Amino acid sequence: MISVWREASPSLPAGGELRYDLGRVSVMPVRRSDGSMKVLLASPRGFCAGVNMAIESLDLAIRSFGPPVYVYHEIVHNKFVVETFRGKGAVFVDSLEDVPEGSNLLFSAHGVSPEIRRVAARRRLNAIDATCPLVTKVHLEAIRYAREKYTIILIGHEGHDEVIGTMGEAPEAIVLVEHPDDVDRLEFPPGTKLAYLTQTTLSVDDANRIIRRLAERFPGIASPPKDDICYATQNRQEAVSILSSEADVVLVLGSQNSSNSQRLKELAVERGVRAYLIDSAADIGSDWFRGDETVVVTAGASAPEQVVQECLNFLRDRFGAQIEMRSIREEDVHFPLPRELRSLSLPVVP
């Protein structure tokens, strides 16, 4: 089973740079005299509201319509989740040409371009839109800026499903940048109206570096009224940023193709802490630990709590680890099911 995981979120910050609340005393890792391992279990961690909604949607669609239910791209970027749903009858495709006409199709949490929606309609597919509302927000901002004749600088990772979908809203108006150096190469005619948007799962620090460079080169650049990086991405990064000061090692549960999970690992490494991104406890190397370390355990926004608990059980059994919960923020966000599923009365099985 895949369990939903809900914690909470402060309201999204408005405008300006994204910021962590780091008003705390930095603590260096301390070796314990008893030689035991200590695990700091980060909270919040794991599933965000958008992932919960997408997973509930696919589960309900399979139980309501029966298999197969086709999914455009992976429902979320997590190996465990994808394989679990494959076993239930989901079929993940990268081209709608692989979906028989008239079939049930679910759009993943990362969103899709208008062209994909047109193809789905042309093939008479019963489309269910499980796009995360925070991704939809970025799409709507891109549409608005393009309509107002802005050139949009999208900060994101080339080839990521979310970026492909966002750029598809106004391909003639969007320029993608991944690094601060990319900003230095941008050239626009005098009088060009500029605005920037960001992928929702970026590193807050990386995004801020690029945003600062954009503001230096293009002082009049417009920004969205609220930060595009989602609350869950920011909260999980904040937890790693704070707790890594006490850690010898950081374990991030998540898949290699998960952008937000990769950022958590990178954040720990940037702070001088050894960090690993793993799908499950089975990926833990036999030579990673002596047994007396302080280990931070967290999970990306697409990683289920089940794999976290399996990792904790492994560390307890192998090293006698003592688990200490560390809550940095609380989250209480829930997104409604797609309108195509709201009339269905089947209960969602956790």
d(CA 50, CA 57): 11
Strand 174-177 with 294-299, pairing: unpaired
Q: Parallel, antiparallel, or unpaired for β 294-299 and 69-72? A: unpaired
- Start-to-end C-alpha separation, the chain: 7
CB contact at 8 A, 50 and 335? yes
Catalytic pick among 7, 56, 74, 162: 162
37: amino acid identity, one letter: M
Q: Please tell me the total number of residues recorded for the chain in this structure.
A: 350
Report the distance separating Cα 172 and Cα 194, nearest Å: 14
Rounded CA gap, 313 and 296, in Å? 14
Residue with tokens 């697409």, as numbered in its chain: 302
The three-class DSSP label of residue 16 is: coil
Residue pair 299/253 in contact (Cβ under 8 Å)? The answer is: yes
Measured from the Cβ of residue 194, the count of other Cβ atoms closer than 10 Å reads 18
CA atoms within 13 A on the CB side of 50: 27
In the residue annotation, 162 being an active-site residue is answered as: yes
Long-range CB contacts for residues 268-275, cutoff 8 Å, separation at least 24:
268/240, 268/244, 268/296, 270/205, 271/241, 271/244, 271/245, 273/244, 273/247, 273/248, 273/249, 274/248, 274/249, 274/250, 275/244, 275/249, 275/250, 275/251
Locate 275 and state its tokens.
């960090």
Strand partners, 298: 252
Return the structure tokens found at 197: 């948007």
Task: Tell which residue, 194, 109, 106, has the closest CA to residue 149.
Answer: 194
Contacts of 27 (CB under 8 A, 6+ apart): 245, 246
Query: Could you list the active site residues?
Result: 162
